[in-house]
C-alpha cells in the first residue's frame, strides 16, 4: 500500500539559488539535487508540494520583495521545465486535477512576513501568483510579528500584524504558524476564521525546541480546524540531537531516525486527533535528514513505521494528504473570490495566468473543490 503525500515545505528554490545559480537543469540527477529529484518525488508518492519561496531575513525592504519574486520565478521555471512530472496549481481544484493526471501539484508558500515589506498589496500580489500560505515570521522578529527564536518586540502581533492575518483570511491565503512565537500562535488562532497550518514543526511536548508547537497551542488546533505538519529537521525531532546542538556540536551527533519522526506523529495524533496532523519535511532546507528519510523519495518508510504501530489506512491517508487538502479547500471560496474567478470551469483548461479552475475535490471536503472527487482518484 502506498500513500500520497501533500508536503508542507520544500526549499528546493532556495537550494537552486545558493547552489545552482538558479539553474533548473538536471533535477533528476541526485548529484545535482541530492534531496529532491523528479524520481524521488515519484518514489515518495508526493502528489502535492508547497514549494517554499523563502528569503533570508537579512534581506530586507525592496530587496526582500525582489528576492521573493526571484524565488517565485524559480518555482515557475522548475514546473515549466518538467511538465511531465509537475503541474502548477493555485486552487484545491487544480491540485485534484494535477493529481488525477499523475503529476505533482505545485503550490508555493512564502516563508517570512518580512517578505511583504509591510505592504498588503505585496501580500496580495504573492497570493495572485500562487503563494497559498505565508509563514508569519522566519527565525527573526520583524516589524510586525515576534519569532519563536528571537527576542520579542510586540508581545506577539502588532496592530498591523493583526491586519495581515485578517487580510490573509479575506483573500484565502493560509496562515502558517511555524517559526512564530507562541504569543503569535495564540493571537492568530484568536483572529483567524479559517484553518491555519504549521508547515514544518514538531511537538514541543516531546522535544522542547523553541521551533516546536507547545501543547497549549496544539490543543487549540482542532477548534480551528488546522493541521500541524511534522517536519524532519533532526534537532526539532530529537531531544538528544537538540541538546547536542545546544552544547556546541562536539563529537558525534546523536542519530535521528524515521522512528523518532513517527514518535511525533504518535504524540500529535494522540493529543489532538488524526484529523489535525500532516507532513512538512523541510527537505532541501537542511543539510542532513533523519536516517530512513534521507530524501523526497523516502516518505514510504514513515508510513511503514506508523503502520507497524497500528495506524490504519485511513489514518495514513489523512496524515499524508487528506488533512492538508482539507485546509486548502477550506480557503477555496475566499481565494477564488479574491482572484475574481470561480472553481467551476473544466480543469483541463485551467490557466494560472487567468485564474480559471476546475470544479473537483475530495469526499468530506466542504468547499467548492469537494463536489466531484468521487469521479477521480480517492483522496
Judging by DSSP bridges, how do beta strands 131-135 and 174-176 pair with one another? parallel
Evaluate if residue 299 carries a pLDDT over 60: yes
Judging by DSSP bridges, how do beta strands 131-135 and 277-279 pair with one another? unpaired
What are 116-168's pLDDT values in tens digits?
999 999 999 999 999 999 999 999 999 999 999 999 999 999 999 999 999 99
Helix (H, G, I), strand (E, B) or coil at 179: coil
Nearest to 130 by CA among 95, 78, 89, 69: 89
What are 187-245's pLDDT values in tens digits?
999 999 999 999 999 999 999 999 999 999 999 999 999 999 999 999 999 999 999 99
Give first-to-last CA distance, the chain, whole Å.
Answer: 14
Percent of the chain exceeding pLDDT 70 equals 90
Distances (CA, A) of 49 to 104, 170, 223, 230: 7, 23, 25, 14
Evaluate if residue 378 carries a pLDDT over 90: no
Evaluate if residue 363 carries a pLDDT over 60: no
Could you give all domains of the chain from N- to C-terminal order, each with its CATH number?
Answer: 5-375 (3.20.20.140)
- DSSP at 274: G
Q: What is the pLDDT of residue 370?
A: 36
Nearest to 115 by CA among 138, 87, 95, 147: 138
Helix (H, G, I), strand (E, B) or coil at 363: coil
Nearest to 246 by CA among 207, 272, 219: 207
Q: What is the pLDDT of residue 341?
A: 79
Q: Model confidence at 342, in pLDDT bands (50, 70, 90)? A: low
Provide the mean pLDDT of the chain: 91
In a 13 Å sphere around the CA of 321, the CA atoms on its Cβ side amount to: 25
Amino acid at each position: 500500500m502506498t500513500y500520497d503525500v501533500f508536503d508542507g515545505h520544500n526549499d528546493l528554490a532556495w537550494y537552486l539559488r545558493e547552489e545552482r545559480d538558479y539553474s533548473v537543469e538536471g533535477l533528476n540527477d541526485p548529484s545535482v539535487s541530492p534531496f529532491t529529484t523528479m524520481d524521488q518525488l515519484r518514489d515518495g508518492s508526493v502528489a502535492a508540494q508547497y514549494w517554499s519561496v523563502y528569503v533570508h531575513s537579512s534581506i530586507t525592504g525592496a530587496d526582500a520583495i525582489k528576492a521573493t519574486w526571484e524565488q517565485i520565478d524559480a518555482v515557475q521555471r522548475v514546473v515549466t521545465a518538467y511538465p511531465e512530472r509537475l503541474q502548477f496549481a493555485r486552487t484545491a481544484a487544480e491540485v485534484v486535477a494535477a493529481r488525477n493526471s499523475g503529476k505533482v501539484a505545485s503550490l508555493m508558500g512564502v516563508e517570512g512576513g518580512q517578505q511583504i515589506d509591510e505592504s498588503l498589496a505585496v501580500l496580495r500580489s504573492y497570493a495572485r501568483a500562487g503563494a497559498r500560505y505565508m509563514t508569519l515570521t522566519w527565525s527573526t522578529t520583524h516589524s510586525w510579528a515576534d519569532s519563536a527564536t528571537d527576542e520579542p518586540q510586540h508581545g506577539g502581533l502588532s496592530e498591523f500584524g493583526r491586519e495581515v492575518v485578517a487580510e490573509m483570511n479575506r483573500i484565502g491565503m493560509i496562515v502558517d504558524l511555524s517559526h512564530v512565537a507562541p504569543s503569535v500562535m495564540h493571537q492568530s488562532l484568536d483572529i483567524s476564521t479559517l484553518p491555519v497550518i504549521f508547515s514544518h514543526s514538531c511537538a514541543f511536548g516531546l522535544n522542547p525546541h523553541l521551533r516546536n508547537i507547545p501543547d497549549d497551542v496544539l490543543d487549540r488546533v482542532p477548534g480551528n480546524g488546522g493541521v500541524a505538519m511534522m517536519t524532519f529537521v533532526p534537532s526539532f525531532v530529537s531531544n538528544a540531537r537538540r541538546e547536542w546542538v545546544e552544547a556546541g556540536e562536539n563529537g558525534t551527533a546523536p542519530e535521528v531516525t524515521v522512528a523518532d519522526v513517527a514518535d511525533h506523529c504518535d504524540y500529535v495524533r494522540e493529543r489532538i486527533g488524526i484529523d489535525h496532523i500532516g507532513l512538512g519535511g523541510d527537505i532541501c532546507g537542511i543539510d542532513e535528514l533523519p536516517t530512513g528519510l534521507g530524501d523526497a523519495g523516502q516518505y514510504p518508510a514513515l508510513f511503514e513505521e506508523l503502520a507497524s504501530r497500528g495506524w490504519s489506512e485511513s489514518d495514513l491517508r489523512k496524515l499524508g494528504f487528506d488533512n492538508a487538502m482539507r485546509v486548502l479547500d477550506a480557503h477555496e471560496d475566499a481565494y477564488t473570490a479574491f482572484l475574481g474567478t470561480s472553481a467551476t470551469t473544466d480543469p483541463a483548461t485551467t490557466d494560472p495566468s487567468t485564474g480559471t479552475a476546475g470544479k473537483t475535490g475530495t469526499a468530506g471536503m466542504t468547499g467548492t473543490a469537494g463536489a466531484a472527487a468521487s469521479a477521480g482518484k480517492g483522496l
